[in-house]
Amino acid sequence: MCNLPFPIGDNLIFANEKNEMFQPVKPQVWLKHVIGNYDLKKVTVHAFRHTYATLSFESGASVKAVQEQLGHSSYKTTMDIYTATTRKESNEATEKLAKYLNF
């Protein structure tokens, strides 16, 4: 049994208390407000999908799970377009090679 305060399933990211979709522009307005108030780098709401995919993989999530969560028909879209290599992953790759080469 799940003790989450919301049902699991087709939940929206930006929803009201009734799990109904906000006006599509609402999250963009919120983000613009936060960026302006805190002098942050300008990003789009859509950029958070890319961040989600990248951090999900870094945390160990499977390709198939993230592909399905993002609603992509192909894992290639998820991997080729939505993910990026993080500094942590680059450092780990370098450390693995150094260990393999006995440095």
Specify burial of residue 94 (Cβ count, 10 A radius: 0-12, 13-18, 19+).
exposed
CA atoms of 61 and 70, how far apart (whole Å): 13
Can you give the pTM of this predicted structure? 0.71
- Reported as a pLDDT band with limits 50, 70 and 90, residue 1 is very low
Please state which of the ranges 12-21, 61-70, 94-103 shows the lowest mean pLDDT. Answer: 12-21
Which residue(s) pair with 15 in the sheet?
21
Six-digit token string for 64: 């198939």
Note the Cα 64 to chain centre separation in Å: 14
CA atoms of 10 and 49, how far apart (whole Å): 17
